[in-house]
Structure 1
């Protein structure tokens, strides 16, 4: 069994990951979900950066 580190070596989502997230948000009952994900993706922000949360 291979150990996978908890921290990702990449700084953001890959193209296919973002596309899957955007598709899921588009199908959400809350249309604000799509707007938020699209905005974060287009601006290149991560959620904790946009919300001002501390990452530990």
Structure 2
């Protein structure tokens, strides 16, 4: 789905895990479109490190 389509959805809940998905999770955080994120701890730590810096 294009980003424009996501803007019309009030609640977006991406679900992905593992460290190799960290860049995708960080991009989702930067886009500000996730209402709730479902992931595992390793992916979350790696994504936050990418997101912060």
TM-score (norm 2): 0.32
Higher RCO (C-alpha under 8 Å, 6+ residues apart) = 2
Larger radius of gyration: 1
TM-score (norm 1): 0.31
